[in-house]
């Protein structure tokens, strides 16, 4: 039926989930997927996977610490975080998330510790300024046969993270853009893209090992491929009308020029690194890595901020798409700041290059890395 409406009096709703949320969902997804990428080396003990696993673990740990800190900031009553553990509302994915997140972070840190224990022990033996600290850190032993166990636990909670973050957003029927069955998968896939992107950048800046770069680029290409397949299916379902939910999601933003631009942008930031990663997997790590990080982050910004810019009952769009004010931006920059700090600290104090296959017979060889 043909009709035309002009809203003469309406209201504007500001976004209730702030850029902090974007940061959290970005970092936690990167962390969880990175953790999974660290398992081949440190749990399955594949020698060849070690270089990549070392970087993956570094990423998992640093983002894994930063993410919950960002999350806390998105609570308007941060001091009341403890209530999550007193009254757990079983019907709320967020309530469950409140339990998953700390377990994941704890296990990941435990895993990282276990993996590095031999090196810590080693560094505790030599006599130098901070030896005492490493003696403490190693808890007076170098055995880490139990590492794979912790690793498996961490891996399971990582899956828990990917599930709960995906579901928490996906079940929100009030937001068509979120309420699509694909969303959890897309979060995971783009998470992997982000993780590999970060690993590539770290590889370029810390290792400069062409084979590793190429390997990572290959994996990135696979992840990007997955993302585009999901994206393609998403559109197919939406356009074909096979899945009303997807159609509604598309309808909720289609027709708005801003969104057409966003779609194009998104597509490019998937295709471009994909092609580069395939065509010249070597010496392209910086480019593919950075674009990949950007793509993963951008996906979340669009989903969260863009999603909140879609009125539920009113006309037009709210302008939540742009970070509201300096405070919003500072949130974004600030979390990246913390993350960078942790990376520096990690690369400085953790003998990460020595992390090897967990096994209690083997003792670290060679001098402890000078600090």
Question: Smallest distance, Å, CB 299 to another protein?
Answer: 18
Q: Between 11 and 127, whose beta carbon lies closer to another protein? A: 11
Instruction: Using the minimum distance from each CB to another protein, give the nearer residue, 228 or 347.
Output: 347
Please, which residue, 14 or 209, has the CB nearer to another protein?
14
What CA–CA distance (Å, rounded) separates 199 from 205?
10
Nearest-angstrom CA–CA distance, 189 and 163: 12
Distance CA 164, CA 317 (A): 28
Minimum CB separation of residue 368 from another protein in Å reads 14
Q: Are 77 and 83 in contact (CB under 8 A)?
A: no
- Judged by beta carbon, residue 251 or residue 280, the one nearer another protein is 251
Q: How far is the CB of 63 from another protein (least distance, A)?
A: 14
- Token pair of 228 as six digits: 């585009």
For the CA atoms of 255, 257, 262, 267, what is the dihedral angle to 10 degrees? 70
From residue 173, how far is each of 16, 181, 258 by CA, in Å? 16, 11, 23
Please, what's the b/e burial string for 153-163 (b: 16 or more CB within 10 A of its CB; e: otherwise)?
A: bbbebbbbbbb
Alpha carbon distance 225, 228 (integer Å): 5
Distance of CA 358 to the CA centre of its chain: 25
Question: Which residue, 93 or 234, is less far from another protein as judged by CB?
Answer: 93
Coil, strand or helix at 91: coil
What's the closest the beta carbon of residue 135 comes to another protein, in angstroms? Answer: 23
Chain centre to alpha carbon of residue 268: 21
Closest distance between another protein and the C-beta of residue 80, in Å?
5
Nearer to another protein, 72 or 133 (CB): 72
State the nearest-atom distance from the C-beta of 15 to another protein, in Å. Answer: 9
């Amino acid at each position: 039926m043909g009709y035309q409406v002009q809203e003469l009096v309406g209201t504007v709703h500001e976004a209730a989930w702030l850029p902090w949320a974007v940061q959290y969902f970005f970092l936690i997804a990167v962390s969880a997927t990175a953790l999974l990428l660290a398992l081949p080396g440190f749990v399955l003990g594949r020698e060849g996977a070690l270089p990549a696993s070392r970087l993956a673990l570094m990423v998992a740990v640093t983002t894994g610490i930063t993410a919950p800190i960002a999350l806390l900031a998105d609570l308007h009553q941060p001091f009341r975080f403890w209530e999550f553990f007193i009254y757990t509302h079983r019907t709320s994915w967020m309530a469950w998330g409140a339990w998953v997140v700390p377990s994941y972070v704890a296990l990941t840190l435990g895993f990282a510790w276990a993996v590095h224990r031999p090196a810590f022990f080693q560094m505790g033996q030599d006599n130098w300024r901070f030896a005492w600290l490493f003696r403490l850190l190693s808890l007076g032993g170098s055995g880490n046969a139990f590492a794979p166990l912790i690793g498996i636990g961490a891996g399971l909670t990582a899956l828990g993270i990917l599930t709960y973050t995906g579901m928490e957003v996906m079940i929100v029927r009030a937001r068509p853009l979120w309420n699509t069955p694909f969303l959890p998968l897309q979060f995971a896939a783009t998470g992997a893209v982000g993780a590999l992107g970060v690993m590539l950048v770290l590889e370029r800046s810390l290792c400069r090992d062409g084979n590793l770069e190429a390997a990572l680029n290959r994996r990135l290409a696979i992840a990007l491929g997955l993302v585009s397949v999901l994206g393609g299916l998403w559109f197919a379902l939406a356009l074909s009308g096979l899945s009303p939910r997807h159609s509604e999601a598309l309808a909720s933003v289609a027709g708005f020029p801003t969104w057409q631009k966003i779609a194009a942008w998104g597509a490019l930031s998937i295709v471009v690194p994909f092609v580069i990663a395939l065509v010249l997997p070597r010496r392209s790590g910086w480019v593919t890595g950075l674009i990949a990080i950007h793509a993963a982050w951008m996906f979340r910004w669009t989903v969260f901020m863009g999603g909140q810019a879609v009125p539920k009952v009113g006309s037009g769009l709210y302008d939540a798409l742009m970070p509201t004010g300096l405070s919003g931006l500072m949130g974004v920059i600030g979390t990246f700041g913390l993350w960078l700090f942790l990376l520096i600290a990690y690369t400085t104090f953790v003998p990460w290059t020595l992390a090897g296959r967990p096994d209690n017979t083997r003792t670290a060889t060679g001098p402890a890395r000078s600090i």
